[in-house]
Amino acid sequence: MEFISWNIDSLNAAIEHKSPRGELTWQVLKQIAEQKPDILAIQETKLKPNGLTTKQANALDMLFPNYHRYLNYSTGRAGYSGTMILSRHTPLSVEYPSISAPGDMDLEGRIITLEFENTFVSTVYTPNSGSELARLDDRQAWDDAYRTYVQNLDQTKPVIFSGDLNVAHNEIDLKHPNSNHHSAGFTDEERQHFSKLLAAGFTDAFRYLNPTTEGVYTWWAQRSKTAKINNSGWRIDYYLLSERLNSYISAFEVLNTGARQDHAPIKLVLKDYNL
């Protein structure tokens, strides 16, 4: 059973692929399609609330034939945030939840959850704390609400959830920890909330397989032309799963995106597991 998750930073830019960056994004999306994952989770689609255009839908149908497609759009701010799941397996139900998050966060299309016979599979795009940490308080409230949400799912059946969680958990998870302790994504508060999420009964699949590995990142800042070249990155994209699924974790990979900076897709393999 193979799962891939990716913050695409605009589905439309990938499908139009009219710019050099858009072409790189399109090539990565094609690379993912060739792998035929059982489930693909996408964050930051940036789609408008009126849905996919005909061109966008046709492109996805071409790349991912015979997949079920589920989208959650931002209705609070058009063309912002948003998530999508493509699944080769038919779910029992689909949820686009509100979690009583602060402000407009519940209106930003940040979560999709599919229910299968044995498992919930969910994706999330966690809010960024923002420049000068302007949204840090709201971010902490989100973290508490989201943790409660996945804990409630876990009481019914195991959960596999992925996404851009916008936090590097430990110093080993970014290239320059000493200069980033007051940066969004590496504050003490955000890291502590991630620790609480793990303590609630969930496993970071990458760290389960690679407890001390350094230099593996999933995001490199676009504004720095040398970030990818120097591997000056952050690991802020995750597959997390209920601890009782640990024995099924077989492999984890950060997919190669070549010269493209920003987020890279991540891949989880579960051995001998049925949804």
* 166 appears as a binding residue in the annotation: yes
Nearest to 95 by CA among 80, 81, 85: 85
* 263 appears as a binding residue in the annotation: yes
* 143 appears as a binding residue in the annotation: no
- Concerning whether 68 is annotated as a catalytic residue, the answer is no
* 210 appears as a binding residue in the annotation: no
Q: Distances in Å between the alpha carbon of 50 and those of 46, 83, 94, 127, 237?
A: 12, 14, 19, 22, 28
Active-site residue, selected from the candidate residues 17, 169, 193, 263: 263
Where are the alpha helices (H) located in 64-212, listed in sequence order?
136-154, 188-199, 205-209
In this structure, the number of other CB atoms found within 10 A of the CB of residue 1 comes to 18
Active-site residue, selected from the candidate residues 125, 217, 238, 239: 125
Tracing tokens 């992925």 back to the chain, one arrives at 162
- Concerning whether 164 is annotated as a catalytic residue, the answer is yes
Judge whether 204 and 240 are in contact, CB under 8 Å.
yes
Tracing tokens 């792998």 back to the chain, one arrives at 35
- Concerning whether 181 is annotated as a catalytic residue, the answer is no
Active-site residue, selected from the candidate residues 154, 164, 173, 237: 164
Active site residues: 125, 164, 263
Residues annotated in a binding site: 7, 44, 164, 166, 262-263
Residues annotated in a binding site for Mg(2+): 7, 44, 164, 166, 262-263
